[in-house]
Structure 1
């Protein structure tokens, strides 16, 4: 007699753990996010995760094939949080700007998880939904498909790259991050004009700006370029947000 196939859902635990909770993929991911936030990457192991859930560590393999599979689920959860409650603002540029800021903020809310996952491609539901939304915004705006894909790639790579960079700074120990922030005032602002004329001339601006994320500014630059590209595709002339007219 052929062995009866047990479905994936049937293999998953239904009885409460020692902590009185019923395991689920969502609960495991949320617990992993909390552990990353509190203890960093080194603090997230299957054994410690099982302890936090009040479950035998081996039971986690009913939900994930291994730690890498869990990492991809964490990445997808961050993207899902970015997209949750999202509404169109009414124009393609505003929609893309809102999407970028949402993704960047969602990752920075969990810096340890962002450093771990920003470079990964999960292929999971939330990631796919976000990609479909971004491409839909671009194609609906009238971008030809080759340009839509080019801008999509630049948009999502830039967003995740800044998320990883900014998250890496937030993930530093407080003493290290504070020391880095002080360098602009303690070192750059004191460089003499005779040896470093350009830094000396812009020092007050550097001190004011360099400890803030450049992502919103970089995002606007990308959107300016995309807007000019769309105008060219339409044979139009566009006036940028700063009043410079492009053919």
Structure 2
């Protein structure tokens, strides 16, 4: 999609049939973009391919999005929105953050090409704003001071999105490359001799079993444990004040 200026915001939201009879909307375009990315990769995300997939004149898309970057922000926001729609707060701050993080990560793996292209962006859109509000609410309601809540939320969301991009990029590799990477732990690391690589040799079976899995669940638990320890110190400090 080339750089274009869109009409006024109201025009972007109108829902009327195109010449081909298709009723376009931002939701339909974003959903189609996600499907094209999943099926054909980043190269498929052009105004021509989108128009063909939607059965619409490609120029009609510019009523809704300025350019590819504008569309990618909407795609990123939709991935966040899908995680939020599946998330339910329980009142247990650890469980709530754990579930939200795992949902964000799973959503990225469900759409790896889209995640690689968009997960590192700041959208400023509805779902991202809801996510920030919800995450801060979980932490502040748990008793974290405001500055600490912001710092922990920052670490939490960046960890989730960073692992989303990392693991989605691995999922996006050609099958042969992915298999070669996975086999490397068995074919190379597990065969290194103990006289030259004693620590690798001693842990080889664990490396083979563990390194082809995502480290995100374990990293998330480490972050939540560290946050819990900090909360305990704040709570203890408040109790001991005269």
Q: With structure 1 as the length reference, what TM-score do the two structures score?
A: 0.90
CA distance in 1, matches of 2:127, 2:47: 24
Which segments of 5 or more consecutive residues in structure 1 lack a partner in the other structure? 237-247
> Which residue in 1 is equivalent to 2:240?
none
> Which residue in 2 is equivalent to 1:79?
80
Name the structure where helix makes up a greater proportion of residues. 2
Q: Given that residues 13 and 25 in structure 2 are in contact (C-alpha distance below 8 angstroms), is that contact kept between their aligned partners in structure 1? A: no
Instruction: From 14, 17, 27, give the equivalent of 2:16.
Output: 14
CA distance in 2, matches of 1:136, 1:176: 42
Deviation digits for residues 150-203 of structure 1, max 9, x if unmatched?
000000000000000000000001111011000001110001111111100000
> Which residue in 2 is equivalent to 1:170?
171
Q: SS of 2:154's equivalent?
A: helix
Residue 10 to residue 205, structure 1, CA distance change in 2 (3 Å): closer
Summarize the alignment of residues 89-104 of structure 1 with structure 2, pairs less than 5 Å apart: 89-104=90-105
> Which residue in 1 is equivalent to 2:3?
none
Q: Given that residues 101 and 160 in structure 2 are in contact (C-alpha distance below 8 angstroms), is that contact kept between their aligned partners in structure 1? A: yes
> Which residue in 1 is equivalent to 2:68?
67
> Which residue in 1 is equivalent to 2:146?
145
CA distance in 2, matches of 1:120, 1:172: 21
Structure 1 ranges of 4+ moved more than 4 A: none
Q: Given that residues 19 and 56 in structure 2 are in contact (C-alpha distance below 8 angstroms), is that contact kept between their aligned partners in structure 1? A: yes
Q: Give the superposition deviation at 1:84.
A: 0.7
CA distance in 2, matches of 1:209, 1:85: 28
> Which residue in 2 is equivalent to 1:204?
205
Q: Given that residues 17 and 54 in structure 1 are in contact (C-alpha distance below 8 angstroms), is that contact kept between their aligned partners in structure 2? A: no
Q: Give the superposition deviation at 1:210.
A: 0.3
CA distance in 1, matches of 2:169, 2:26: 27
Q: Give the superposition deviation at 1:21.
A: 3.0
Q: With structure 2 as the length reference, what TM-score do the two structures score?
A: 0.92
Q: Given that residues 12 and 64 in structure 2 are in contact (C-alpha distance below 8 angstroms), is that contact kept between their aligned partners in structure 1? A: no
Q: Given that residues 89 and 95 in structure 1 are in contact (C-alpha distance below 8 angstroms), is that contact kept between their aligned partners in structure 2? A: yes
Residue 7 to residue 211, structure 1, CA distance change in 2 (3 Å): closer
> Which residue in 2 is equivalent to 1:242?
none
Q: Give the superposition deviation at 1:138.
A: 0.2
Residue 103 to residue 7, structure 1, CA distance change in 2 (3 Å): closer
Q: Given that residues 13 and 26 in structure 2 are in contact (C-alpha distance below 8 angstroms), is that contact kept between their aligned partners in structure 1? A: no
Q: Give the superposition deviation at 1:16.
A: 4.7
CA distance in 2, matches of 1:86, 1:178: 33
Summarize the alignment of residues 17-166 of structure 1 with structure 2, pairs less than 5 Å apart: 18=20, 20-166=21-167
Q: Give the superposition deviation at 1:13.
A: 5.2
Deviation digits for residues 42-77 of structure 1, max 9, x if unmatched?
121111111111111111000011110000000000
Which segments of 5 or more consecutive residues in structure 2 lack a partner in the other structure? 1-6, 238-242
